[in-house]
Amino acid sequence: MNWQAVYAMYSFEMARFFRTITQSFVSPVISTSLYFVVFGSAIGSRIQEVDGVSYGAFIVPGLIMLTVMTQALSNASFGIYFPKFIGTIYELLSAPVNFIEIVIGYVGAAATKSMFIGLVILGTSALFVDLKIQAPLAMLAFLVLTCLSFSLMGFIIGIWAGNFEQLQLVPLLVVTPLVFLGGSFYSISMLPPFWQTVTLFNPVVYLISGFRWSFFGIADVPIGISLLAISAFTVICIGIIWWIFKTGWRIRS
């Protein structure tokens, strides 16, 4: 393993993040505050508690997952798409590095960025509601796995995308609706039985449910199934990336 090459790619991507650190820090703080003003005040005044948890605290895990997933996707997809766009990816492919080192460098940086933003949101949320994390290790594990898996997915999107419009297509039209419909701001037990069954086909439900369990000890689906779902998703993404580099799909053409 060429760790020097991994560090070079990782540090290059992180440098781009730190150049806009103010925007990266202030933006999630403002957006989180707005969510609490809108959802916490407007809806929270009508829904006092969900499964014994105050509504303001209940939406925190969903809010973190919403931002982390979208940020991981956008950071990873842009990180690998831009070298394709300007042609420097051929220098990367001709360098003495293998695809594992490339993935670790780019995906690791994207996962680090999204995790930083997730922790910023967590800290901001603590200013608005009383948060008690029952299983901090499980919370950290779900956060890391989510950042990693969606960064891998974003890496795939960045290789697939042929232009900047396609780069935003999947996050905007697929992932964001799935997150909003995946129980981010409500419990699926509040839905009619038919729609509860339909919602279980949404893979994001299992991520948000497991992450919420680490905070409050409540979940819409068993915690074991949530762990299995996020682990399977990560393995599938790794397998797709391995196939991409093996065949050169959308890279060498």
Q: What is the per-residue pLDDT across 54-72, written as a single tens digit (0 to 9) for each?
A: 888 898 999 999 889 988 9
- Does pLDDT of 44 surpass 70? no
Residues 6+ positions from 40 with CB-CB distance below 8 Å? 55, 56, 59, 128, 129
Q: What amino acid occupies position 99?
A: F
Residue 252 lies in a domain: no
Q: What is the pLDDT of residue 110?
A: 94
The reply to whether 224 falls in a domain is yes
Q: What's the rounded mean pLDDT across residues 204-216?
A: 94
- Can you give the pLDDT at residue 102? 93
**What's the mean pLDDT in 47-56?**
83
Q: Is residue 146 part of a domain?
A: yes
Mean pLDDT, the chain, as a whole number?
88
Give the residue-averaged pLDDT of 34-38: 78
Q: Is the pLDDT of residue 45 over 80?
A: no
Q: Coil, strand, or helix at residue 187?
A: coil
Tokens matching residue 43:
């809806």
Q: In the chain, what are the helix, strand and coil shares in percent, each to the nearest 5?
A: 75, 0, 20
Separation of alpha carbons 211 and 197, rounded Å: 20
DSSP β-bridge partners for residue 54: 49
Q: Give the residues across from 53 on adjacent strands.
A: 50
- Number of structural domains found in the chain: 1
**Is 25 inside a domain boundary?**
yes
CA distance 218 to 58: 10
- Residue 116 falls inside a structural domain: yes
Let me know if residue 253 belongs to a domain. Answer: no
Q: Residue 130 falls within a domain, yes or no?
A: yes
Residue-wise pLDDT tens digits, 131-154 = 889 999 999 999 999 999 999 999
Parent domain of 141: 3-247
- Residues in a beta bridge with 49: 54
Q: Would you tell me how many other CB atoms lie within 10 Å of the CB of residue 209?
A: 26
- Across the range 12-17, mean pLDDT stands at 88
114: in domain = yes
Amino acid making up residue 180: F
- Confirm whether pTM is higher than 0.75: yes
The pair of three-digit structure tokens given for residue 250, joined into one six-digit string: 């959308």
